[in-house]
Structures are given as C-alpha cells and as structure tokens.
Structure 1
Amino acid sequence: MATTTATIDIPVPAERVWQLIGGFDSLPDWLPYIPKSELGEGGRVRTLTNEEGGVIVERLEAFDHQARTYSYSILQAPFPVIGYRSTLTVHEMADGQSRVEWSGTFTPAGTSDEEAIALFHGIYTEGLAALKKTLDA
C-alpha cells in the first residue's frame, strides 16, 4: 500500500474554508479540473466528470462536520490503483489561518508505487493550490 499527503496553509479562517470544501458535492466550486459533480444514493456517492470528460465515481465513507473532515473511496476511475481511500481535512491554525490536508492510501495496479504516489501527490498539490486561489479571489 502506498500513501501520500499534501498540505497548504491559507490565510483564511477554517470555518470559511470548510464552508467552501466541506460539501461532498462541492468540488466544482474550487477544483477547476472537476467542472461537474452529481450526487446519488442520498448524497453518499458522487459522480465527477473531469475536463476531458472522464468519469470518477466516489463514495463518502466518513464525515465529521465539527472536525471539518471527510473521507471517501473510489468506486470507479481511470487511475492505476485499487483500494483507494482519501481524507480531506481543514485544521484551524493560529491567527485565523487554516491548514488544509489532503491525504490518500491506495495500492498501485499496473504501475510502480512511485508513479502512483507522484500522480496523486500532483492531484492533491494542484487541487490545494486551486483552493487557495479560489479563496484569494
């Protein structure tokens, strides 16, 4: 099993960050490469469409509004991994700032650990940079 984590510090209160990213259906609000999200199964499954029209289906596994965190697994995606589970968390920092952490565990399938880690680390890092840009706007 492989893991990776990306973090970013944002000069915005944690509650404001969570208001933007805390909804399981909110990725299109801050992640430019995911322009479409549709909820199913009572809000527990999201079907994402990326910029190229690729489909990713994810299941909400855990959600804690008070702790500002949720975890999800991938049910269907064009990624070379199995057993994928990811967690997105907003931490309250001093001086009204936030630290956002996006982490994942997965088993590479048909690729090396290093390549799978690089893929998801890139997704997380780019995603968090897009989040910061959205909040700066």
Structure 2
Amino acid sequence: MPLVTTNILLPDPAHRLWPLVRWDGRLCDWYPGAVALTVHGHDKGAQRRLLLTDGSRLTQRLDHVSQIDDAYSYTILDSPYPVADLLAQIRVHPTGDGNAVLTWTANFQTTTLSESKTERFVRDLYEVGIERLRRLLIH
C-alpha cells in the first residue's frame, strides 16, 4: 500500500493556516480543481462533497478529528482519481517562531495506474494544493 507524505513550512502561524485546511475550511480556495464544496456534518462520519472543474465529483468522509491538535483524517468514498481505499490526514503544527508546518499524508490502493504513477499523481495533487496554500498566505 503506497504512502505519500508531504511536509511544508508555511510563513504564517497555525491559527491562520488552520481555518483554510480544516474539515469545513476554505478548501475551494486551495484544493486543486475544486470549484464548489458542501459539508454535511462536523463529527466522525460527516461528508464533504467537492465539485471539480471538469464536472467530476469527490466525496470524502471524516474519520477522526483531534481534540488536542489541529488535525483530522478522512477517507475518499468516491472520486475520479486512480486510487482506492485512500485514507488521508491533514495536520498543522505550530513551530514556535510564528510559522506552521502542514503535514498531509495518504495511504491508498492503486487502481488503473502502476503504483509509481499513482504515487506521483497523489504527490502532485498535494504539491499543487500546498503551493496554492502558500500563495493564499503570502497575499
């Protein structure tokens, strides 16, 4: 089962980053290809649905929200992506110097592509999303 982890130091405190990335945050502002978002619920089992620019839909289920850290994990239930059984976590760590580290991790099964191509697809998706977050925070 492939595992992709992306860690990035972002130039803002965690309290400014977290509202952008939390479960019911501003996902359409940074998630690659997202044009509309609906969230149904805030606790375990809640779902969020994204409409992507190509008209496809992505449905995710909230699996865990940390009561201590700025973190949550989710499962993709339905997507146009070449993955199955994707379980991901987003976590924001304050660094103590006014910055924050975003960690975005996923493990998954491959479907239509080779393992290396599927890993590259997920890594590219995460890197584009993180770069969009960086631009939001700079402005």
Q: TM-score, normalised by structure 1?
A: 0.92
Pairs within 5 Å for 1:99-114: 99-114=101-116
Secondary structure of the equivalent of 2:106?
A: strand
- 8 Å CA contact 2:56–2:80 kept in 1: the answer is yes
Higher helix share goes to which structure? 1
Residue-pair matches, total: 136
Pairs within 5 Å for 1:5-84: 5-31=5-31, 33-40=33-40, 42-43=41-42, 44-84=46-86
Q: Which runs of 5+ in 1 are unaligned?
A: none
- Backbone CA RMSD of aligned residues: 1.4
- 8 Å CA contact 2:23–2:72 kept in 1: the answer is no
What's the offset of the Cα at 1:109?
A: 1.3
Residue identity matched to 2:114: S
Q: TM-score, normalised by structure 2?
A: 0.90
Secondary structure of the equivalent of 1:95?
A: coil
Q: Which runs of 5+ in 2 are unaligned?
A: none
What's the offset of the Cα at 1:20?
A: 2.1
Structure 1 runs of 4+ with >6 Å offset: none
What's the offset of the Cα at 1:79?
A: 1.5
